[in-house]
């Protein structure tokens, strides 16, 4: 998960160095962050929930008592937040990429 911090820090450095939000480095950093977010936070959900399902109802899970439900609820909430954040990241990436495509089309039309 700390790998995602590298992209957030790079974004801040690019901003401080004066790169505009539509610069190539800024866009590539954002796309890389979106891909890594997907790989680290979204792709890890199915294996995690598969493991939770395999443990459910076992003596070890029963020994946890109510803590089991606290863990389940907190994980559902955090997974939901990760899905919301990823959705926002994808919308932002799509908006930037479509704007870039439109800029290129306008430049080609003008020449």
Which tens digit of pLDDT belongs to each residue from 67-86?
999 999 999 999 999 999 99
Which tens digit of pLDDT belongs to each residue from 84-105?
999 999 999 999 888 877 776 6
Q: Cα separation of 13 and 3, whole Å?
A: 16
Residue 65 has pLDDT above 70, yes or no: yes
Residue 23 has pLDDT above 90, yes or no: no
pLDDT band for 11, please (50, 70, 90 cuts). Answer: confident
Tokens 């930037």 -> residue: 96
Q: What secondary structure, in 3-state letters, does 32-79 show?
A: HHHHHHHHHHHCCHHHHHHHHHHHCCCHHHHHHCHHHHHHHHHHHHHH
Q: Cα separation of 55 and 49, whole Å?
A: 10
Confidence at residue 43, expressed as pLDDT on a 0 to 100 scale: 97
């Amino acid at each position: 998960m700390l790998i995602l911090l590298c992209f957030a820090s790079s974004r801040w450095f690019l901003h401080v160095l004066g790169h505009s939000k539509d610069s190539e480095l800024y866009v590539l950093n954002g796309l890389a962050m979106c891909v890594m977010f997907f790989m680290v936070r979204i792709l890890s959900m199915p294996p995690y929930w598969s493991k939770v399902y395999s443990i459910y109802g076992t003596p070890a899970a029963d020994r946890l008592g109510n803590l089991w439900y606290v863990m389940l609820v907190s994980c559902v909430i955090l997974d939901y937040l990760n899905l919301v954040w990823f959705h926002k990241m994808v919308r932002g990436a799509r908006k930037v990429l479509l704007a870039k495509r439109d800029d290129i089309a306008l430049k080609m039309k003008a020449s």
